[in-house]
Structure 1
Amino acid sequence: MNGNSDFPYEINEVEPEELAELQKTFNLAFTDGYVRVGPKGYFVRSGYRKEAAKIYNMSLRPDDIWVVTFPKSGTTWVQELVWMVANDFDYVKSSSIPLVDRFPFLEMSTIVNSDKAQAKMKELCGGNKKHMEIAEMLTKSVSLAEQLPSPRFIKTHLPLTLLPPSLLDTTKVVYVARDARDVAVSYFHHYKLMTFMGYYGDFKDYWASFVKGDVEDCPYFEHVKEFWEQRQHPNLLFLFYEDLLKDLPAGVRRVAQFLGKHPSEAQVTALSEYLTFDNFKKNKSVNFEVFKELGWSDKNMSFMRKGKAGDWRDYFDAEMAAQAQQWIDDNLRGTDLCFPEHDPK
């Protein structure tokens, strides 16, 4: 598909040979496959075709607040942080309304809008009317986001070039970046967790796919660098996951300043405690329990896993670590992008 006046980028099917190779480790039964988008070849589900122009031309509002990340970069954590600060620390409302309703995932419909996906959803719902209604709603995520009352809170994993061109000039955007190796480990477990992703390879296979760009929303570094290049824009707050782990109160203050809020130190302290990993993992409002209810995720696994930096060292052998460092160096060469050092312990 060539770009047109509604959407400027080409959308190309992943070659059959490459798809067949992927199917050795990725269970693609829940989708119609993958496509690559634009000159950077962003790897997304084929259902993106139906939503590309709608997302790109989406109407924006000055009071929108978006959280954008490459997947598994601390997205849910930062969504809750941003929502709480923007809503004056309303713990009652936060606990009573799931995060997925307060801060919806824009492109969810691209995952579940194909005929195969919808057939699989019906199978997993097993005739449960409530579950079917939830599943049906997820197929309309873009339309529902457009209809949200202001102020809207929107989460997306799409790169900047695939989002509305006036995004940064119109809305507030918080972007979070995380060490690519930790992202890959966390994303691997996410693929294992979500039954509709159905990954059945090992981590070494997964890492090879990640580096090659055959994992959703890759290439990773292009995603990060697009936002890094805009980090001085007054409507963009660029955060590193590792910095938040090291000093969460400082992160809360940065978000508050960005959003024009003036919390007391007591409020900052209380929110930081609320957002500690142990507390966050127990918080049913943010743990996507609905996916377990729908049969979409493994009931024996948790959406929140470890919430730490440097976990990749437990998964990379010496050869993989050296290869990963070379890959990182190659991708950062010529940029001033530098990820924070973190304590390997």
Structure 2
Amino acid sequence: MPLYIKPDIFDRASWKMEVEKDTKTTVKNKKWVPFPYNISKIDGSLNTKLLKDFTGERTSFVQVGPEKWFFPSGFAKEADDMYNFQVKSDDVWVITFPRSGTTWTQEMVWLLCNNLDYKTASEEPLISRFPFFEFSCFVHKDLKQELLERNRNDPKNYEFVKNMDYPGWKLLSETKGRRFIKTHLPFSLLPHNIKESGCKIIYIARNPKDVAVSFYHLNRTILTQGYRGDFPMYWDYFENNLQPWTPYWSHIKEGWQHRHDPNVLFIFYEDMNKVNLRSSIEKISGFLEKQYSSSKLDLLEDHLKFENFKNNKSVNFGSFEAAGVCLKNEAGFVRKGQTNGWRNYFDEDLEKRADKWIEENLKDTDLRFPC
């Protein structure tokens, strides 16, 4: 039985219209659109196994629409609000499948759009400057309660955990001025008015082997995921679309289909490595309609070099670690930034299996990764 009950969407839409009437807003101007996809529970033995291996979720995982996008149960509660988020023309979105150079790109984009204000960038965490649109879906109430109890004697960390599940879409709706938005949602699940808004969208794609290795470490590190298995088992989940934001290939192909849209810039992570970092900065700067002198771009390039970026406290989610949301004995949020680092995790059999999977999924597209 679907977890997401369609009639409830219409009830919520009616309620929003009543609010508009009370505030003398014209109902006709409200573009409230019911979330268009069915959301169904994963149940039975598969859900039991998933809950055992991914301890951040405590209720059930769900699949969304015909692509069966995979999410924790919290997605069902916020799907219609995220779908009806009102995108503005001057918004800047960074969209990726997880672990595809997202944080790196966010820092670059924010600085380019804010006159290379390194002082503010160092003082204000990236998660505040560039909110994560759907992160609240991943904060299960039981996990949150455990973290609150763990931090009950630390007012600062307690307050952080208390606000950790405040919806990104709601925070952004309350934000004045230009908004910078991070999301891992595929194009088909983005707010319904994003295309007509004319906002800037930067989509970063990374090869699936490196993505899987990096995502494996993040899943082990952050308790909202709480993965407790080894890499071969993790790859099995990844390949079979049983990881948040999968199917990976549907995500990447949707991004590829939009690469010619005038408001979309599609870039491969592999083209943003140490050799091509400067050209990537210049390409993104041009897309954002920002111009800087060569000397200023030199400074930005140095700021973004991985050896410097890895030690940048503003981008490393220190508040998550301080509150125990991230494990201290695991890899940090900004990990290695390598291309082809997957070779250290795939044995010969797993590599052959992965290569076959990749080959099969590239047959119907002209998408090809640089490496």
| TM-score between both structures, scaled by the size of structure 2 | 0.88
Q: Is residue 2–residue 9 contact of structure 1 (8 Å, CA) maintained in 2?
A: no
Among 308, 319, 324, the residue aligned to 1:279:
308
Residue 332 (str. 1) matches residue 359 (str. 2):
no
Offset, 1:2: 5.3
Cα RMSD of the aligned pairs, angstroms, is 1.5
| TM-score between both structures, scaled by the size of structure 1 | 0.94
Provide the rounded CA distance (Å) in 1 between the counterparts of 2:109 and 2:141.
35
Q: Residue type of the partner of 1:122?
A: L
Provide the rounded CA distance (Å) in 2 between the counterparts of 1:37 and 1:132.
33
Q: Residue type of the partner of 1:253?
A: E
Counterpart of 1:154 in 2: which secondary structure?
A: strand
Residue equivalent to 1:299:
328
Among 164, 180, 184, the residue aligned to 1:153:
180
Greater than 4 Å deviation, 4+ residue runs: 2-5
Provide the rounded CA distance (Å) in 2 between the counterparts of 1:124 and 1:34.
25
Residue equivalent to 1:244:
272
Offset, 1:127: 4.2
More deviation, 115-124/305-314:
115-124
Provide the rounded CA distance (Å) in 1 between the counterparts of 2:242 and 2:149.
27
Among 343, 358, 370, the residue aligned to 1:313:
343
Larger Rg: 2
Superposition pairs for residues 115-264 of structure 1, below 5 Å?
115-141=141-167, 142-170=169-197, 171-245=199-273, 246-264=275-293
Provide the rounded CA distance (Å) in 1 between the counterparts of 2:172 and 2:232.
37
Q: Residue type of the partner of 1:334?
A: D
Q: Is residue 148–residue 162 contact of structure 2 (8 Å, CA) maintained in 1?
A: no
Provide the rounded CA distance (Å) in 1 between the counterparts of 2:361 and 2:264.
23
Residue 7 (str. 1) matches residue 35 (str. 2):
yes
Deviations 1:250-287 (A, max 9, x none): 00001111011111111222111110111001100000
Q: Is residue 69–residue 177 contact of structure 1 (8 Å, CA) maintained in 2?
A: yes
Q: Residue type of the partner of 2:303?
A: Y
Residue 69 (str. 1) matches residue 99 (str. 2):
no
Offset, 1:12: 0.5
Q: Is residue 69–residue 175 contact of structure 1 (8 Å, CA) maintained in 2?
A: yes
Between the two proteins, the alignment pairs up a number of residues equal to 339
Provide the rounded CA distance (Å) in 2 between the counterparts of 1:147 and 1:137.
15
Q: Residue type of the partner of 1:33?
A: S
Counterpart of 1:138 in 2: which secondary structure?
A: coil
Q: Residue type of the partner of 1:336?
A: D
Superposition pairs for residues 42-57 of structure 1, below 5 Å?
42-57=69-84
Superposition pairs for residues 57-96 of structure 1, below 5 Å?
57-96=84-123
What percent of counterpart residues are identical? 40
Provide the rounded CA distance (Å) in 2 between the counterparts of 1:34 and 1:125.
27
Q: Residues 238 and 36 (structure 1 numbering): CA distance in 2 closer, same or farther, change over 3 Å? A: same
Q: Residue type of the partner of 1:132?
A: Y
Structure 2: give runs of 5+ residues left out of the alignment. Answer: 10-32
